[in-house]
């Protein structure tokens, strides 16, 4: 995709006539590439040219390129063909919206995506298969829980607050670590799962039952409760029922999915959590700049990110897996469509770790350095996968970014709270 991008910039600077674009794109493969790689670069170039025309609102010319992309791409092809297929569909919807062919109210679009986010938050087989087979989720989970284990090393009563518990896999990792702490046994592990909006209380309760059974097998004193709020803005310290003598730790995987707007929801959540005085807050986030209001910048950033993601899926998941198809058609396609085809009603507005740092600093939060044990756990977990060599780990300040062949996918960071002030934002 990077080769295609560089090639597209060079071709654009030569100012070919619009009607000659397909001929030039399809007629000169870059040197040093195999025939298959050359075809993939050419197809990616077509998509970039298509997006360029959409961005310039040159819809007649865009549709010519759209037809080519549609003809040469496929939802069941290789990674590049799949990426082009879903991005070209999203571009087509953007054209239809801007030309008035389809009219979709923002509230309706958000409702659909709210249902999508709910499915990712609870037990969805496709999402669970993705977690098991793609390396970066487990890498950040094991490294993040290791940071929390170290943070509560001297605590007898631990209160673990999870803002996105889903199936509770991270809790089982923590439970195993705490159960093996023989020198200073745990008197109680309390897990609080935060639910909001359309989140299913029943699914959260089912997760709690599974965790309780797992704790019983480990002979670990355990309690589980749900802090359910209508909206994340309503979250306050009373929802957590904190008790004296507890050491609190907070875990959040993909916070952006639960914090729909910034900074209001984020401020409400952090204000409530700060009053609990947690020893540590561990956050896993999408490492991509999809917050940009400029369509061209957002499109190019999303294309690089999802190209790496689809390539990872292509390597790590069976092409015939129904979970793979559901993951791509339901989750990734909806994300791409929301990022590319929408403006004001976009939900997926991910930010890089550098932007999170600036934002958290305004809330009086201080970044904590991940220990060597956490970094070792990340490296060890990556090596458990057959494709582990393609999973890249890089330090970004005190945090770590986990990527695929050098393209960042997730960031893992740990945070502590300064003393409460009246003007931290």
Contact 54, 62 (CB under 8 A): yes
DSSP-derived secondary structure letter, 156: S
DSSP-derived secondary structure letter, 180: T
Burial class (CB in 10 A: 0-12, 13-18, 19+), 353: buried
pLDDT of residue 233: 74
Contact 30, 3 (CB under 8 A): yes
Q: Looking at domain 134-287+350-417, what is its CATH homologous superfamily? A: Vaccinia Virus protein VP39 (3.40.50.150)
E strands, 186-290, in order: 188-196, 222-229, 247-253, 280-286
CA 419/CA 93 separation, integer angstroms: 48
336 φ, ψ (degrees, to nearest 5): -60, -45
Contact 108, 70 (CB under 8 A): no
CA 248/CA 377 separation, integer angstroms: 22
> Could you tell me which residues come within 8 angstroms of residue 148 by beta carbon, excluding any fewer than 6 positions away?
160, 174, 249, 251, 280, 282
User: Distances from the Cα of 128 to the Cαs of 44, 46, 118, 213, 402, in angstroms?
Assistant: 30, 34, 14, 20, 19
DSSP-derived secondary structure letter, 418: P
Contact 248, 277 (CB under 8 A): yes
CA 413/CA 351 separation, integer angstroms: 13
**Residue of 277, 291, 397, 399 lying closest to 338 (CA atoms):** 291
pLDDT of residue 347: 82
**Residue of 199, 204, 256, 253 lying closest to 230 (CA atoms):** 199
CA 258/CA 188 separation, integer angstroms: 28
Contact 404, 308 (CB under 8 A): yes
Helix (H) / strand (E) element for 144: namely: helix 135-151
SS3 205: helix
CA 79/CA 390 separation, integer angstroms: 15
pLDDT of residue 37: 80
**Residue of 318, 239, 321, 247 lying closest to 278 (CA atoms):** 247
Domain limits, the chain: 2-114+289-341, 134-287+350-417
Residue 213's CB is within 10 A of a number of other CB atoms, namely 11
242 φ, ψ (degrees, to nearest 5): -70, 145
pLDDT of residue 102: 78
Per 3-state DSSP, what percentage of the chain is helix, strand, and coil (rounded to 5)? 55, 15, 30
Contact 126, 330 (CB under 8 A): yes
Q: If you search the block for the tokens 């896993």, which residue do you land on? A: 284
**Residue of 339, 347, 348 lying closest to 87 (CA atoms):** 339
Query: What tokens does 274 get?
Result: 């700060």
Write the pLDDT tens digit of every residue in 254-293: 865 445 455 567 788 888 899 999 999 999 999 999 988 8
CA 379/CA 385 separation, integer angstroms: 11
SS3 112: helix
**Residue of 229, 230, 297, 232 lying closest to 266 (CA atoms):** 232
If the chain, 425 residues long, is cut into consecutive pieces of 10 residues, what is the mean pLDDT of each piece?
A: 68 54 54 78 92 95 94 94 97 94 62 55 72 94 97 96 89 96 92 79 91 97 91 80 93 68 71 92 94 92 96 93 89 92 85 92 92 96 94 96 96 87 47
Contact 235, 269 (CB under 8 A): yes
Pairing of strands 247-253, 365-368: unpaired
CA 281/CA 259 separation, integer angstroms: 16
CA 135/CA 279 separation, integer angstroms: 28
CA 173/CA 345 separation, integer angstroms: 36
pLDDT of residue 128: 81
């Amino acid at each position: 995709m990077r080769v295609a991008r560089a090639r597209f910039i060079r071709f654009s600077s030569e100012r070919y006539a619009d009607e000659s674009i397909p001929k030039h794109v399809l007629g000169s493969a870059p040197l040093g590439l195999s025939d298959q790689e050359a075809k993939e670069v050419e197809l990616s170039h077509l998509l970039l040219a298509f997006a360029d025309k959409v961005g310039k609102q040159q819809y007649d010319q865009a549709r010519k390129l759209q037809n080519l992309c549609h003809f040469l791409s496929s939802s069941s092809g290789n990674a590049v063909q799949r990426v082009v297929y879903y991005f070209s569909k999203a571009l087509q919807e953007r054209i239809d919206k801007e030309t008035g062919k389809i009219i979709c109210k923002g509230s309706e679009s958000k409702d659909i995506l709210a249902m999508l986010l709910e499915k990712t938050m609870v037990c969805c087989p496709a999402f669970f298969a993705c977690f098991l087979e793609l390396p970066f989720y487990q890498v950040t989970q094991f490294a993040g829980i290791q940071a929390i284990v170290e943070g509560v090393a001297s605590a007898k009563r631990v209160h673990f607050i999870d803002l996105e518990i889903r199936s509770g896999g991270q809790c089982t990792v923590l439970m195993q670590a705490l159960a093996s702490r023989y020198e200073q046994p745990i008197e109680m592990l309390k897990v609080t799962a935060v639910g909001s909006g359309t989140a299913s209380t029943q699914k959260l309760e089912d997760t709690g039952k599974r965790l309780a059974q797992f704790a019983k097998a480990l002979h670990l004193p355990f309690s589980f409760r749900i802090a359910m709020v209508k909206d994340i803005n309503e979250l306050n310290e009373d929802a957590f029922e904190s008790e004296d003598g507890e050491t609190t730790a907070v875990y959040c995987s993909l916070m952006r999915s639960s914090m729909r707007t910034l900074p209001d929801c984020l401020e409400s959540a952090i204000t409530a959590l700060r009053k609990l005085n947690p020893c540590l807050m561990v956050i896993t986030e999408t490492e991509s700049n999809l917050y940009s209001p400029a369509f061209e910048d957002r499109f190019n950033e999303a294309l690089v990110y999802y190209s790496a993601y689809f390539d990872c899926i292509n390597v790590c998941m069976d092409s015939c897996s129904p979970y793979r198809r559901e993951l791509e058609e339901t989750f990734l396609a909806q994300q791409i469509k929301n990022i590319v085809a929408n403006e004001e009603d976009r939900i997926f507005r991910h930010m890089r770790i550098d932007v999170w740092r600036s934002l958290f600093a305004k809330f009086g939060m201080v970044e904590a350095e991940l220990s060597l044990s956490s970094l070792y756990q990340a490296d060890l977990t990556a090596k458990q996968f057959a494709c582990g060599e393609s999973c890249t780990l890089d330090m970004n300040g005190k945090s770590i970014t986990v990527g695929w062949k050098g393209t960042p996918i997730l960031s893992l960071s740990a945070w502590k709270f300064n003393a409460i002030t009246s003007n931290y934002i």
